[in-house]
Amino acid sequence: MRQDQIDQTAPIARQLTRFLRERIIRNDLHPDQKISESEIAQQYDVSRQPVREAFIRLASEGLVSVLPQRGTRVSRIDVVAVREARFLREAVESDIVRLLAEAPGRADLAELDAHIDRQRAVAAGDPLEFIRADEAFHRTLAEMGGKAGIWRKVQGLKAQMDRVRVLSLSQFPVNKLIDQHAAIVAGIAAGDPARAEAATRHHLREVLSDLPQIVTANPAFFDDAPDGDEDRTVIIGGGE
């Protein structure tokens, strides 16, 4: 079975949402491109109803615009949404790694090291494959910290951020990102909450440090963004 082939035994709309989200993230479906229920239904050999449901879900993530009488188009990247997603992730994930570093036994360090090894193995390949490995690492941290539910809530915000990351990976040294992941794991392993938190904040800020340059290089991918920088730090109280 090819990677985007529909499994008829699983919820179809959910699968279509995932497949189309990935196609938008990797720019197989590009900004302003019109997509139709009938064409997508034909491509995946499904009825139009699950396609309609997938479009609604993608619209809620800001990835498509569903316009009555005008069809559905892939949205441009919303720079404000990208900044807000990064801001929220920093707050949530910094708290998660503090929890893990305060009680290192909660974290399976061997599993985290295996994630780092996986990232190094795919670093030179498909950018989307690296993003999958990156996401698996961050999701595992959330699960180890007992915050899997919060991580799922963050997913809808991440998609815009991931679109930027695909554009940036060709110019950003992926190995540097992996080293930053390793620094997070080292802080947890050392039982040093401040070190783990600092490594996480540094990592999530640097992921989009070149956002202005990416926007300038790819203007057709982005909505116009307001001037001004975002606040640099946000702290949300942690705990069980």
In this structure, what CATH number is given to the domain that contains residue 16? 1.10.10.10
Q: Among 54, 97, 94, 60, which Cα is nearest to 75's? A: 60
Same domain, yes or no: 125 and 172: yes
- The pLDDT, as a whole number, for residue 24 is 94
User: What's the pLDDT score for residue 225?
Assistant: 53
* Domain termination residue (choose one: 74, 92, 114): 74
Residue 33: inside a domain: yes
Q: Which of 83-97, 107-121, 170-184 has the lowest average pLDDT?
A: 170-184
Please name the residue that has the structure tokens 């499994």: 7
- Kindly state the average pLDDT of the residues 19-47: 92
Q: What is the pLDDT of residue 51?
A: 95
Residues 34 and 119 reside in one and the same domain: no
Angle at 107 between CA 104 and CA 112, to 5 degrees: 125
User: Residue 232: what pLDDT?
Assistant: 40
Residue 3 confidence (pLDDT) above 70: no
The pTM is what? 0.79
Residue 132 predicted with pLDDT over 90: no
With a CB cutoff of 8 Å and minimum separation 6, the contacts of 151 are 92, 138, 139, 142, 143
CB atoms within 10 A of CB 25: 22
Q: Which domain holds residue 170?
A: 79-221
Give the total number of structural domains in the chain: 2
212 in the same domain as 138: yes
Residue 3 lies in a domain: no
Mark which of 74, 89, 112 sits at the end of a domain: 74
Instruction: Give every strand in the sheet of 34-35, ordered side by side.
Output: 34-35, 71-74, 64-67
pLDDT range class, residue 172, cuts 50, 70, 90 = low
Minimum mean pLDDT range among 21-30, 84-93, 218-227: 218-227
- Please compute, for residue 152, the number of CA atoms within 13 A of its CA located in the half-sphere on the CB side: 5
pLDDT tier for residue 170 given thresholds of 50, 70 and 90: low
Which of the four pLDDT bands, split at 50, 70 and 90, describes residue 238?
Answer: very low
Q: Is the per-residue pLDDT at 157 higher than 80?
A: no
- Indicate which CATH number applies to the domain containing 108: 1.20.120.530
Coil, strand or helix: which one is 66? strand
> Residue 122: which of 132, 113, 108 has the closest Cα?
132
- For tokens 């060709």, name the residue: 170
| Residue 237 resides in a domain | no
177 & 194 share domain = yes
Q: Both 70 and 85 in a single domain?
A: no
CB neighbourhood size of 92 (10 A): 22
